[in-house]
Amino acid sequence: MPIYKMSGSKDGKQKYRIRINYMDLTGKYKQVDRVAYGKAEAQLLETRLLAEIKEAPPQSMSVRELYNEYMAAKKSEVRATTYDKNRRNLELYILPDFGDKRLDKLTLPALQKWKNKIGASDLKIQTKQNIYKEFRTMLNYAVRMQYLPRSPLSSIGNFKDVNFQSQDEKLHYYTPEQFKVFIAAAANHVDTLTDCGYYVFFSIAFYTGMRKGEINALRWSDIEENIIHVRRSVTQKLKGEDVETPPKNKSSIRDLQMPDPLIKILKEHKEHQRTDPSFSEDYKVCGGARCLRDTSLAKKNEEYAKEAGLPVIRIHDFRHTHVSLLANEGINIQEIARRLGHSKIEMTWNTYSHLYPREEERAVKILNKFV
């Protein structure tokens, strides 16, 4: 029985102890221990405590305990690269401030103070927004598990981009003429088979718009005549060895028809790789037995750009270069989305709609007829 008679009394009423053992929603055993005077009062207190235990979420859980449970649940639901990025955001920017705090201590003033701190940092606005989103997602998980009645972070709101840059200012890419100068600089440095791999990497990036991880993971067995079958990706940012995963999303599993210049480049490169005694169809197209290293690609990218007298753009920006060429030639946005492996065409349109100047000119010509 959870009600025990104790020695002692008050105002002529017997002293009782009410002790209730229970398991909370996190699976932990807890105990509530209270004292009352009078049997009727003890029974009434027992009833109230049982109701509170049943209805109240375990807000005594710490943010770090929530983090451990949340990441364990998330591990089987997202790609390894996404998991690692989310983990780093939470460990670097959330746990240092809130790790030891109980969920019920996540007050609006404390959260606003944290947001002010992150907002004043030198992090990019996109990074700040991603940190907020991951924190919000974790607290929403707590709400779903009934650890919190609602997420207090929702009242704070995400970071706002107040610079109001145009989309063109945010995107960096080479024009076709600039890329010709860039790739010529890369060709000037082809002295070894590895050097050739860098030249081939940037050629694939320009002609296909594939992601860096997708190009690094590309095997000769993934190429069939004039078609590249995008079926895998490689990340080098996780602890330990390279991790090969499926592409970013379901839409990223795609077949890309290659133009003649790229077919020629790959055919010649394969003949060079065949000189390696251990060559097989499972060889990485740009690396060989092992894919090219991200750090080396970044150095080569900077080296070729400087030699060509061009501004240095990110390797990811070669996707933008690919799109700018197709968009300026009027290629349908849906085909561009397919080639990029975007899961939603809205993402492609929101990013690249401004690259359709000829459509704007056509629209103006039609409107001019109604003067």
pLDDT in tens, 13-56: 999 888 887 666 555 667 888 899 998 888 888 888 887 766 55
Domain stops at, among 15, 36, 55: 55
In this structure, are 102 and 203 located in the same domain?
Answer: no
Distance between CA atoms of 146 and 7, rounded to whole angstroms? Answer: 39
Query: Is the confidence at residue 238, as pLDDT, over 70?
Result: no
CATH of the domain at 260: 1.10.443.10
Domain that holds residue 207: 173-358
Q: Is the pTM of this model over 0.85?
A: no
Same domain for 272 and 133:
no
For every residue of 75-131, DSSP letters joined together read TTTS-HHHHHHHHHHHHHHTHHHHTTSBGGG--HHHHHHHHHHHHTSS--HHHHHHH
Q: Is residue 364 part of a domain?
A: no
333 and 291 in a common domain:
yes
Instruction: Identify whether the C-beta of residue 114 lies closer than 8 Å to the C-beta of residue 135.
Output: no
- Candidates 339, 351, 348; CA nearest to 208 is 339
Question: Is the confidence at residue 119, as pLDDT, over 80?
Answer: yes
pLDDT at residue 165 tops 70: no
Domain count, the chain: 3
The residue from 142, 164, 186 where one domain ends is 164
**Which sign does the torsion angle of CA 348, 353, 357, 360 carry?**
positive
Which pLDDT score is estimated for 131?
95
164, pLDDT greater than 60: no
